[in-house]
Chains A and B, each alone.
Chain A
């Protein structure tokens, strides 16, 4: 083979990087399972209902276990779908999404603690929705447009809940319940399951 020029070497490196990024992006995108999202939505609806019945829409005795179960369920569903489609689950894009969501979740936990200490529980639903929406929107830059749309809608719900704290409980049900179910059904019908 003829010795490649400097430009050709750089171009080859850049091209292989582009191929890798595109394949990762395509894989991570399809690895999001609709069934998992529907399950997360149902858990969100149940948690919102139970917490409201207990008299505190942000009762952590309900939401913390619900969040753990939802994450395990979504993780298992994503892994099953990735395995069925023969694509790696822990791809670069998926890793980036985890890095986008982790600071959001940690910030949410710290703010929940801080607002609770100040007796501002009424602001927690809006803060949860707005922060989660921000994370989903940022993570959505690595995925389909529908993810970004869901993130923006969650952020709007969060803003409404912050301005109208008395609507916190139904907005939590709408954001963590209904929106996940709609998004899950969209993935199930249009994005490979």
Chain B
């Protein structure tokens, strides 16, 4: 089926909603602390941790751990690989829309 071919081309890692949110938020910032990311995405600590770990394992996200006022602080940033993947994903989304637009113009 034509539709499946288009969807199959997408980066599954970024395609998931929370992971897409993480990458989008980080694309707009040099880095973000864990608490900020959680608040921006309106998700739970556990959910964010699980998805951020998958992005980290894939090399899309860099995690920096440290301390601030003796409290642990986790900072996330997008790697060059992550930014390339995000841009490619954006390109695919735009491609889907422009293909649809072209088809509409032909009819």
Which residues on A are within 8 Å of B, measured CB to CB? Answer: 1-5, 7-9, 12-13, 15-16, 18-19, 22-27, 29-30, 85-87, 143-145, 189-192
Cα distance A30–B68 in the bound complex, in angstroms: 19
Q: Mark B19-43, 1 if CB is under 8 A from A, else 0.
A: 0110011111110110110011100
- Asked if B80 lies at the interface with its beta carbon under 8 angstroms from chain A, I say no
> Which of B6, B7, B29 is the one whose CB lies under 8 Å from A85?
B29
Flag if B20 contacts A15 (CB, 8 Å): yes
Cα distance A189–B35 in the bound complex, in angstroms: 13
For the A-B complex with A5-B6, A9-B100, A19-B93 known, give 7 more contacts whose Cβ atoms are closer than 8 Å: A3-B100, A4-B3, A12-B97, A16-B90, A18-B21, A87-B28, A87-B29
Flag if A8 contacts B3 (CB, 8 Å): yes
| 20 pairs from A and B in contact (CB 8 Å cutoff) | A1-B95, A3-B2, A4-B3, A4-B96, A9-B100, A12-B100, A18-B21, A18-B24, A22-B21, A22-B28, A22-B41, A25-B40, A26-B36, A29-B36, A29-B39, A29-B40, A30-B29, A144-B35, A144-B40, A189-B68
Which residues on the A side are within 8 Å of B6 (C-beta)? 1-2, 4-5, 8
Q: Shortest Cβ distance from B63 into chain A, in angstroms?
A: 17
Cα distance A68–B17 in the bound complex, in angstroms: 42
Q: Given A8-B3, A22-B21, is A191 in contact with B33 using a C-beta cutoff of 8 Å?
A: yes
> Which of B5, B40, B68, B97 is the one whose CB lies under 8 Å from A190?
B68
